[in-house]
Amino acid sequence: MNKKVVGILTLLFMIPLMVACGSQQESQTSETSTTAPGLRKEPYAQEQFLLGTYTRIRVYDEGKEAAMTPAFERMKELGDKITINEPDSEIDEINENAGIQPVKVSPEIYQLVKRAKEYSVESEGAFNLVIGGITQLWRIGFDDARKPSDEEIQQALTTLDYQKVQLDDEYETVYLEEKGMIIDLGAIAKGYIADEVATILRNEGVTSAIIDLGGNILVLGHSNRGVDQPWKIGIQDPNDARGSIIGSIEETDKTVVTSGVYERYLELDGVKYHHIFDTQTGYPIENDVASVSIITDHSIDGDALTTLVFAKGIEKGLAFVEENTPEGTDAIFISRDGEVYVTSGIKDTFELSTESDYRMAE
């Protein structure tokens, strides 16, 4: 794999580290805990560098170690189809045929692109699946990241019309109407892949597992800490790269996806340019969000929503999650000045760490 490919994979898939803390530490420190019947105290665990990040699966069901093999295979297969500049990349093929012709893609990639377009429409472009023109200019997270000229940005802004992504449900083709349009699914791909991995594990008979795609966490079933016990999931401190947590929530069969400004940025003359872009200006979004975590049933939604509500900022982002998402979807925002905001569904279950310097907002 050449450097460029590795770089693009990284751009697509790196996300801020969020720690799925716990199940093990918890069970060891809690005096009353017992391991649930059929589950292991210590999971079968595997880690692979895939999707440009460290991906980890922990399976707690006794005898189900082999389930991880097809799960990792699927992860790699989907990653290859979605990333850019790889022989097997279907997204690449769509981009190369912008302004030329529709491209037939595999059913799962069609559904992913379709979902990404729906999010673009629903958010009026705050989330924009054809953000590629902008992300390829800045290349935040790569060695060759730079601040583009205003002229370049103005030019790239003309390639962001998501309404010009034509989808044909019958033939499962995708057509970008204008030359220069570039699909970039970095804001949604890992979530989609996490869901696929969960499906594979379930089909293999796994009932209790943690999937961690570089911080995109999905907890399957109950924790091993006893009968019907939820998992305890830590929320990372956005100002501490060492991975300390500011608090935690308890969930069963849920996914927690986090996006933050702290992980990847370009620093120039004391200004930090991070990796989530304002699709109106072509510059990184400037607002009060240090990080946002979305808790939801499907990781694809969690991933898309982190980017979407990040773009909206804390106040509008909270309102969006309360009003425009199904029951069971919640958010935790951490502001740049250390305040924590949570939506109504997790007011009682989110627990701020006692050692934390952060405080709950009013």
Which residues are near ligand ADP by CB under 6 A? 11, 14-16, 127-128, 131, 135, 184, 186-187, 259, 263, 275-277, 279, 303, 306-307, 311
Determine the length of the chain: 362
Rounded Cα gap, residues 38 and 54, in angstroms: 28
With CB cut-offs between 5 and 8 Å by kind, which of ligand ADP, Mg ion, none does residue 251 bind? Answer: none
Q: Which residues pair with 332 in a beta bridge?
A: 293, 342
With CB cut-offs between 5 and 8 Å by kind, which of Mg ion, ligand ADP, none does residue 127 bind? Answer: ligand ADP
Give 222 or 312: the residue with its C-beta nearer to ligand ADP: 312
Q: Can you say how many angstroms the Cα of residue 196 is from the centroid of all Cα atoms in its chain? A: 14
Give 209 or 276: the residue with its C-beta nearer to ligand ADP: 276
With CB cut-offs between 5 and 8 Å by kind, which of Mg ion, ligand ADP, none does residue 279 bind? Answer: ligand ADP
Among 220, 249, 222, 219, CA closest to 234: 249
With 0-12 / 13-18 / 19 or more C-beta atoms within 10 angstroms meaning exposed / middle / buried, residue 171 is exposed
Q: Is 187 a residue that touches Mg ion (CB under 5 A)?
A: yes
Give 128 or 255: the residue with its C-beta nearer to ligand ADP: 128
Task: Take residue 112 and report the two structure tokens written for it.
Answer: 């992913």
Rounded Cα gap, residues 351 and 218, in angstroms: 19
- Provide, rounded to whole angstroms, the least separation between the CB of residue 114 and ligand ADP: 15
- Provide, rounded to whole angstroms, the least separation between the CB of residue 186 and Mg ion: 8
Rounded Cα gap, residues 293 and 314, in angstroms: 12
Query: Binding mask 295-314 vs Mg ion (x if CB under 5 A, - otherwise)?
Result: --------x--xx-------
Q: Is 135 a residue that touches Mg ion (CB under 5 A)?
A: no
Among 164, 119, 173, CA closest to 302: 119
Reduced to 3 states (helix: H, G, I; strand: E, B; else coil), residue 268 is strand
Task: Count the neighbouring beta carbons within 10 Å of the beta carbon of residue 319.
Answer: 13
Among 237, 346, 252, 337, CA closest to 294: 346
Give 103 or 318: the residue with its C-beta nearer to Mg ion: 318
With CB cut-offs between 5 and 8 Å by kind, which of Mg ion, ligand ADP, none does residue 311 bind? Answer: ligand ADP
Give 249 or 257: the residue with its C-beta nearer to ligand ADP: 257
Give 123 or 224: the residue with its C-beta nearer to ligand ADP: 123
With CB cut-offs between 5 and 8 Å by kind, which of Mg ion, ligand ADP, none does residue 256 bind? Answer: none
With 0-12 / 13-18 / 19 or more C-beta atoms within 10 angstroms meaning exposed / middle / buried, residue 344 is exposed
Give 255 or 279: the residue with its C-beta nearer to ligand ADP: 279
CA-CA-CA-CA torsion sign (241, 243, 244, 249): positive
Reduced to 3 states (helix: H, G, I; strand: E, B; else coil), residue 1 is coil
Give 135 or 224: the residue with its C-beta nearer to ligand ADP: 135
- Provide, rounded to whole angstroms, the least separation between the CB of residue 164 and ligand ADP: 16
Query: Binding mask 243-272 vs Mg ion (x if CB under 5 A, - otherwise)?
Result: ------------------------------
- Provide, rounded to whole angstroms, the least separation between the CB of residue 274 and ligand ADP: 9
Alpha helices (runs of H) in 291-334, residue ranges in sequence order = 299-312, 314-324
With CB cut-offs between 5 and 8 Å by kind, which of ligand ADP, Mg ion, none does residue 314 bind? Answer: none
Write out the residues near Mg ion by the rule CB under 5 A.
187, 303, 306-307
